[in-house]
Amino acid sequence: MSTRLPGGIPDFIEKWNPKLFKQVGFGLGAASVASLGILANDMLHPALPVGIIGFTAVYWKVGTDDLNQSNHTLRRNFPFLCHMRYLFESIRPEIQQYLIESDSDATPFSRSMRSTIYQRSKAQSDTRALGTMRDVYEEGYEWGAHSMFPANHHDVKTRVKVGNKLNGCSQPYSASIFNISAMSYGALSGPAVTALNKGAQMGGFYHNTGEGGISKFHLSGGDIVWNVGTGYFACGKTVDGKRMFNEEMFRENSAKEAVKMIEIKLSQGAKPAHGGILPANKITAEISDARGLGPGPWTEDCASPPYHSAFSTPKQLCEFILKLRTLSDGKPIGFKLCIGNPSELASLFHAMIDTDIYPDFITVDGSEGGTGAAPPEFQDSMGMAMAEGLRLTDNMLKGAGIRNRMKLIAAGKVYNGFSLVRTMANGADLCNAARAFMFSLGCIQALKCNANTCPTGITTQNKNLSSGLDVPNKSVRVSNFHAATVLSASEIVAAMGHTNPRHVTGENLWKRENGIHVSTYSDMHSKYLPVLEGGELLEEGMPKVPKKMQGWWKEGKVLYDSMN
């Protein structure tokens, strides 16, 4: 009787070994010889012995290679047969996605989430029959509180002015409440970037360039937000192996008509405080042109370190903001970050108050955000999620009395009308999305963004794959998705009785916490992330502020002073 435990390796696999491999191989060899003899008597179709001989040759070649290598124990112990494991592993994601997962399964985006985006991108009906498929009593279920007296959704404001005259901004920008988040050319293919940009032009919303510079694909007619990262691509040069900011390059590129705002990248939600390197052998003429690397040959890697060389303290960041505002002739200047240490955030706000230099916007990127490639530890375990990071930033700005000086932009799995409204209720003035717009291009969540083998041609530089992406068709889908999402958000805001999304607050949103208890978003985390109205952090003794936030604010002041 077999003693194999349930779920263990099948018996025939456990018994497989190099000796048995050779015995089976000799048997196949004998079968090959026999098939030739039978073929000579016209007793078999010629294809059969050819197939047997071919399989035998492959069997011996693969198996002997397995036995002769020393890197993989599995291949030496289970020659030839081990490749069945590799085969099944390679198709596991497809089997899981197409045959096993339910509509609510799969990460980072479920089939239900993706289906909504696909339908709206194609301008298909996205209505459903019979009622919700969700369990309204499950942990984490969320809902919005509608009004007995809803407003007209046509009256809902869906544009926000970014750029404060008090800050010195002379070229404010009217932005949509929903826009394309930072994705670089290089991470995305040229056709994908072009389709996104043309879609943004059609729909009247902006397209963030990502830190890879301004490529020709970004200049296809749509408004862009120029993301300035630690590599200073298109606005920097390499000096003694270190990327340094260059004022003249910045002045020239910031003057482009398409550039409506400039965003300094401090960190990214999916990999906060982690840099990246593009190997020299992967740099192409088009990438070099976008990043301002100069003519080839390129002998040095293109690095984006975790830190900026232009500044290293909160005060220096404020001064850098002022410099960019001056060089860009008054365009809106802001920065993007994933929230980490709250006291460091407080030190930055102390610097703004002390220097009287303010950004026109802050982009809060949640740790649930996407990336083309990042270490799993950084993706899974670093940085604050968007809801908490946004709420902390919004209320600390209010408590410091400076919330009116800037707009808050948020990014982190915003993909439909409800997620857009929920994010704005948590403090955002407008939102960005990256992966949602990738789905509108046709992304199937193959999870091959880092392998240069994206089957839909979106995240690859392989022209054989990217050429399959039809720009005119996909740009329309990008615009369709944006329009449908904004319409959905407008209808939800109106259903809550408002005509301005910023009037929706945490009191309008509820969440089930443990099956029977529910809380409004305003009540959640109130011990650490209170809802402040204005100036409470500046009052003597801060009597209305919880002890935890008082501590962060005081630590921020000490940190700011120590850096000066």
Q: 107 lies in a domain?
A: no
* Amino acid at site 54: G
Give me the pLDDT at residue 22, please: 93
Q: Is the confidence at residue 279, as pLDDT, over 80?
A: no
Confidence of residue 369 (pLDDT cuts 50, 70, 90): confident
Q: Is the confidence at residue 220, as pLDDT, over 80?
A: yes
Same domain, 198 and 85: no
Highest mean pLDDT among 136-150, 296-310, 419-433: 419-433
Same domain, 315 and 411: yes
Average pLDDT for 337-356 = 97
**Cα 391 from chain centroid (whole Å):** 20
Average pLDDT for 385-400 = 94
Measured in Å, how far apart are the chain's first and last C-alpha atoms?
Answer: 77
Same domain, 401 and 277: yes
> What is the SS3 string spanning 352-374?
HHHHCCCCCEEEEECCCCCCCCC
Reported as type and span, the H/E element at residue 213 is: none
Give percent above pLDDT 90 in the chain.
59
| Both tokens assigned to 200 | 């943004």
CB 542 within 8 Å of CB 400: no
Give me the pLDDT at residue 382, please: 83
Same domain, 249 and 179: yes
Average pLDDT for 373-378 = 73
The whole-angstrom separation of Cα 411 and Cα 430 is 9
Among 97, 122, 143, the domain boundary falls at 97
Q: 244 lies in a domain?
A: yes
Q: Is the confidence at residue 62, as pLDDT, over 90?
A: yes
Give me the pLDDT at residue 473, please: 94
Same domain, 181 and 300: yes
Give me the pLDDT at residue 377, please: 80
CATH of the domain at 157: 3.20.20.70
The whole-angstrom separation of Cα 487 and Cα 480 is 11
Average pLDDT for 132-146 = 88
The whole-angstrom separation of Cα 188 and Cα 370 is 13
Helix (H, G, I), strand (E, B) or coil at 259: strand
User: Which is more confidently placed, 340 or 368?
Assistant: 340
CB 152 within 8 Å of CB 494: yes
Q: 145 lies in a domain?
A: no
Among 81, 97, 113, the domain boundary falls at 97
Same domain, 258 and 390: yes
Give me the pLDDT at residue 111, please: 82
Q: Is the confidence at residue 529, as pLDDT, over 90?
A: no
pLDDT in tens, 31-61: 988 887 776 666 657 778 888 899 999 999 9
Number of domains into which the chain is organized? 2
Report angle CA 8, 12, 16 to the nearest 5 degrees.
105
pLDDT in tens, 462-486: 888 888 899 999 999 999 999 999 9
Q: 169 lies in a domain?
A: yes
CB 426 within 8 Å of CB 398: no
Average pLDDT for 532-552 = 92
Give me the pLDDT at residue 1, please: 45
Confidence of residue 208 (pLDDT cuts 50, 70, 90): very high
Which residue's entry shows tokens 């003035």? Answer: 429
Confidence of residue 446 (pLDDT cuts 50, 70, 90): confident
Among 58, 77, 97, the domain boundary falls at 97
Long-range CB pairs of 115-121 (<8 Å, 24+ gap) are 116/415, 116/416, 117/415, 117/416, 117/436, 117/439, 117/440, 117/481, 118/439, 118/440, 120/440, 120/480, 120/481, 120/484, 120/485, 121/439, 121/440, 121/477, 121/478, 121/480, 121/481
Same domain, 463 and 323: yes
Give me the pLDDT at residue 102, please: 60
Q: 292 lies in a domain?
A: yes
Q: Is the confidence at residue 394, as pLDDT, over 60?
A: yes
User: Which is more confidently placed, 362 or 547?
Assistant: 362
Give percent above pLDDT 70 in the chain.
92
Indicate the average pLDDT of the chain.
Answer: 89
Tell me which residue range forms the domain holding 422.
153-347+359-503
